[in-house]
């Protein structure tokens, strides 16, 4: 019987690599992002290479009614979602007081609202069928507040908290709910956030691999890579005041330069 994965933010980066893994595993794929031509290119590759069916929905998931529009289109296409990958997201870097209000509202709607609404739409069906997977993409930024990327860090803290709670709620069922917390990853993320990075970045296919394997194994929190695991360990041990001061100094934009971020 065919099984279907819904991947948000599948046009590039970690989402694209997660879509490849799902397709390789025999999932039909529902690819979502704003960039229709890129999604159609990926559809062609996945259908040819893995002999699966791919459905493309080009949508701005930061719009307030995006999740209901998407679920309606998926229903009308007669599709059931067995694997939900809430990956689409973006960050903003700079002083909260200076950043554009509408861009940050989009960031919250995409990283928080749409992710929550899609999980709400598909988790009950998975529980009824006693089978399914939800992989939410947060970040190592989820483990502490982040001055000069305040909204981004806060959205990812929400994703971590929500997902860990849901993991506990579905315990004992055939449904796996996991959160992937990547550290710096080599994608378009930093260009879009307008931040710079002097840390080395992990290839996105490796991040996707750890995320995919983690949710299959019903891991609650997946932090890919030893250095990211150490970073998260420090964040948990360090007093809040100290980690705030460290991040305030590291991420503070210097005059005329973009902020530097840890994710
Ligand atoms: N890269 C990192 O260092 C890093 C670290 C930790 C966590 N993460 C998280 O990993 C996830 C994937 O990011 P990435 O690094 O792969 O970045 P990316 O290369 O910029 O990819 C982001 C994806 O999200 C989609 N997207 C963005 N805004 C959207 C919108 N309004 N509506 C629909 N789709 C939208 C993009 O597609 P379109 O532009 O085609 O719409 C793209 O497919 C994000 O949640 C990010 O916060 C990344």
DSSP annotation string for 198-253: -S--EEHHHHHHHHHHHHHTT-SEE--SHHHHHHHHHHHHS-HHHHHHHHHHHHPP
Asked if residue 61 has its Cβ within 6 Å of ligand 1, the reply is yes
Q: How far is the CA of 239 from the centre of ligand 1 (A)?
A: 30
Which atom of ligand 1 is nearest to 197's Cα? 3
Q: How far is the CA of 13 from the centre of ligand 1 (A)?
A: 7
Provide the 8-state DSSP code for 110: I
Q: Are the C-beta atoms of residues 175 and 134 closer than 8 Å to each other?
A: yes
pLDDT at 74: 98
pLDDT at 195: 78
Which atom of ligand 1 is nearest to 141's Cα? 6
Asked if residue 2 has its Cβ within 6 Å of ligand 1, the reply is no
* Cβ atoms within 10 Å, residue 241: 8
Q: Which residues contact 106 (CB under 8 A, 6 or more apart)?
A: 62
Residue ranges in the chain modelled with pLDDT below 70: 197-198, 255-263
Asked if residue 180 has its Cβ within 6 Å of ligand 1, the reply is no
Asked if residue 187 has its Cβ within 6 Å of ligand 1, the reply is yes
pLDDT at 260: 61
pLDDT at 198: 62
Catalytic residues: 152
pLDDT at 197: 67
CA distance 107 to 138: 13
CATH classification code of 3-260? 3.40.50.720
- Pocket perturbation via mutation, ligand 1, pick of 6, 7, 8, 9 by most ligand atoms within 8 A of CB: 9
- Which among 115, 87, 117, 97 has a CA at the least distance from the CA of 207? 87
Tokens of 144: 């502490």
Whole-angstrom CA distances from 164 to 18, 20, 31, 180, 218 are 20, 26, 25, 11, 11
Tokens of 152: 């981004």
Residue extents of the structural domains in the chain: 3-260
Per-residue exposure over 14-34, b if at least 16 CB sit within 10 Å of its own CB, e if not: bbbbbbbbbbeeebbbbbbbe
CA distance 190 to 188: 6
Q: What is the pLDDT of residues 147-156, one digit of tens each?
A: 999 999 999 9
Q: Which residues contact 76 (CB under 8 A, 6 or more apart)?
A: none
Asked if residue 189 has its Cβ within 6 Å of ligand 1, the reply is yes
Q: How far is the CA of 8 from the centre of ligand 1 (A)?
A: 9
């Amino acid at each position: 019987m065919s099984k279907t994965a819904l991947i948000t933010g599948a046009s590039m980066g970690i989402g694209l690599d997660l879509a490849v893994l799902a397709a390789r595993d025999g999932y039909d794929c529902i690819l979502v992002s704003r960039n229709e031509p890129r999604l159609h290119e990926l559809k062609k590759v996945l259908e040819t290479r893995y002999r699966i069916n791919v459905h493309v929905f080009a949508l701005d998931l930061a719009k307030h009614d995006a999740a209901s529009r998407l679920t309606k289109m998926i229903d009308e296409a007669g599709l059931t979602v067995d694997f939900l990958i809430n990956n689409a997201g973006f960050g903003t870097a700079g002083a909260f007081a200076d950043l554009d209000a509408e861009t940050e509202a989009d960031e919250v709607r995409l990283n928080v609202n749409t992710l929550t609404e899609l999980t709400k739409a598909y988790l009950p069906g998975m529980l009824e069928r006693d089978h399914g997977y939800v992989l939410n993409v947060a970040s190592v930024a989820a483990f502490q507040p982040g001055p000069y990327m305040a909204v981004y860090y806060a959205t990812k803290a929400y994703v971590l908290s929500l997902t860990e709670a849901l993991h506990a709620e579905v315990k004992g069922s055939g449904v796996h709910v996991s959160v992937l917390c990547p550290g710096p990853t080599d994608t378009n993320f930093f260009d879009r956030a307008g931040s710079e990075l002097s840390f080395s970045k992990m290839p996105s296919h490796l991040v996707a691999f750890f995320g995919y394997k983690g949710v299959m194994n019903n891991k609650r929190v997946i932090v890919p890579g030893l250095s990211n695991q150490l970073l998260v360990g420090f964040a948990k041990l360090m007093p809040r005041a100290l980690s705030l001061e460290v991040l305030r100094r590291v991420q503070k934009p210097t005059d005329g330069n973009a902020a530097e971020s840890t994710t």
